[in-house]
């Protein structure tokens, strides 16, 4: 039995097979419409996340399975003080697979250690968000044709943004990738990431201004400045509008550059960019469902 805690839990070859499956689901959805008949997914969300939860629910429903779960800690037994270890033992009796989001880092790993069913980390605090990373990788592979041979700019909150950290960790396994980190000084990428890049001889640079690097980017990954990651309101207000992507900045970019965003956005991408063919973030959300469908099938070892 396998779990998914980090994007690195799967080898590059295993990810290729997962993405092939996701692309097949995209092309032939009817073929998979009853693949999970009689199976149950438990969505254990200890903090609100409508988007990720609905993506999982959509994925399981499109596979013919059913979904049970809770969408915040207040409506779960955690509010009575139940441990994650105990909760997952109970959930293992009710469901065949579990997607868990928790504000505490490492909580899904604790669940996986005690679980009788596959556990998917659906986000643990500021730590990992592997299914978002799988979504990002599938989007890049599907729209760019391959995972490698490009310069990717990551912009915004690179300090607290777990999607960014997960994506970097996953991309370093592919060839010929150059990173450009675009952030204010206060939200720079953590030192353990830059240490890892240095140790692996992977080129990266850290810059302050987005427009200076736009012409060189093949991909631009935008992130929002998340209010819940800040300890005080003043810092949040000062930094949230720091980097906004608009048509003027897009005019500097390559014709085939793609803009990705884990969503939801606040105002870091102007609405005027939505109609630009290079804006890939809504297509990215659709790939999120396909990759979660492929993941559920893979972890449940269901062949179609």
Partner 1 sequence: MLNVGKIEEGFVLDHIKAGKSLEIYEHLQLDKLDCTVAIIKNARSNKMDKKDILKVECDIDMLDLDVLAFIDHNITVNVIKNGEIVEKKVLTLPRQIKNVIRCHNPRCITSIEQELPHIFCLADAKTEVYRCKYCEEKYMSSAKWT
Rule CB under 8 A: say whether 109 interacts with partner 1.
Answer: yes
Report the alpha-carbon distance of residue 14 to residue 3 in Å, rounded: 13
Structure tokens at 292: 């979660």
CB of 192 to partner 1, least distance (A): 6
> Active-site residue 101, yes or no?
yes
Rule CB under 8 A: say whether 126 interacts with partner 1.
Answer: yes
CB of 269 to partner 1, least distance (A): 28
- Evaluate whether 22 touches 287 at the Cβ level (below 8 Å): yes
Instruction: Residue 59: count other Cβ atoms within 10 Å of its Cβ.
Output: 26
Report the alpha-carbon distance of residue 107 to residue 6 in Å, rounded: 13
Rule CB under 8 A: say whether 84 interacts with partner 1.
Answer: yes
Among 98, 107, 120, 294, binds partner 1 (CB under 8 A): 107
Name the DSSP letter for residue 128. B
b/e for 280-299, b at 16 or more Cβ within 10 A? bbeebbebbbbbbbbbbbbb
Rule CB under 8 A: say whether 79 interacts with partner 1.
Answer: no
Among 14, 37, 105, 186, binds partner 1 (CB under 8 A): 105
Question: Which residue out of 39, 101, 159, 240 is catalytically annotated?
Answer: 101
Q: How far is CA 273 from CA 137, 141, 217, in A?
A: 22, 22, 17
Question: Considering beta carbons, is residue 188 or 254 the nearer one to partner 1?
Answer: 188
Rule CB under 8 A: say whether 91 interacts with partner 1.
Answer: no
CB of 110 to partner 1, least distance (A): 5
148 burial level (CB within 10 Å; 0-12, 13-18, 19+): middle
Among the listed ranges 20-28, 98-106, 141-149, 263-271, the one in contact with partner 1 (CB under 8 A) is 98-106
Report the alpha-carbon distance of residue 92 to residue 56 in Å, rounded: 18
Rule CB under 8 A: say whether 292 interacts with partner 1.
Answer: no
Among 85, 146, 212, 247, binds partner 1 (CB under 8 A): 85
For partner 1, the binding residues (CB under 8 A) are: 83-85, 102-107, 109-110, 124-127, 192, 199
Q: Which residues are catalytic?
A: 51-52, 80, 101, 129
């Amino acid at each position: 039995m396998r779990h998914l805690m980090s994007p690195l839990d799967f080898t590059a070859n295993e990810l290729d097979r997962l993405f092939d499956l996701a692309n097949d689901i995209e092309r032939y959805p009817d073929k998979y419409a009853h693949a999970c008949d009689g199976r149950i997914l438990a969505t254990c969300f200890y903090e609100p996340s409508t988007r990720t939860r609905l993506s999982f629910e959509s994925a399981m429903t499109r596979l013919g399975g059913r979904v049970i779960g809770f969408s915040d800690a207040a409506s779960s037994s955690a509010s009575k003080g139940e441990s994650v270890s105990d909760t997952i033992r109970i959930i293992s009796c009710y469901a065949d697979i579990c997607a868990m989001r928790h504000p505490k880092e490492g909580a899904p790993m604790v669940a996986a250690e005690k679980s009788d069913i596959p556990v998917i980390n659906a986000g643990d605090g500021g730590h990992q968000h592997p299914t978002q990373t799988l979504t990002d990788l599938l989007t890049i592979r599907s729209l760019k044709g391959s995972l490698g041979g490009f310069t990717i700019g990551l912009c915004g909150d690179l300090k607290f943004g777990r999607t960014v950290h997960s994506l970097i960790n996953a991309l370093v396994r592919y060839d010929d990738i150059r990173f450009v980190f675009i952030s204010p000084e206060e939200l720079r990428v953590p030192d353990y990431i830059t240490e890892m890049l240095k140790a692996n001889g992977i080129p990266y640079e850290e810059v302050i201004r987005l427009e200076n690097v736009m012409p060189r980017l093949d991909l631009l990954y935008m992130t929002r400045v998340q209010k819940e990651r800040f300890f005080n309101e003043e810092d949040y207000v000062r930094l949230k509008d720091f980097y906004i992507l608009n048509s003027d900045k897009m005019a500097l970019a390559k014709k085939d550059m793609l803009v990705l965003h884990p969503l939801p956005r606040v105002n870091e991408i102007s609405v005027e960019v939505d109609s630009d063919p290079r804006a890939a973030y809504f297509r990215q959300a659709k790939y999120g469902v396909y990759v979660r469908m492929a993941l559920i099938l893979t972890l449940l070892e269901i062949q179609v």
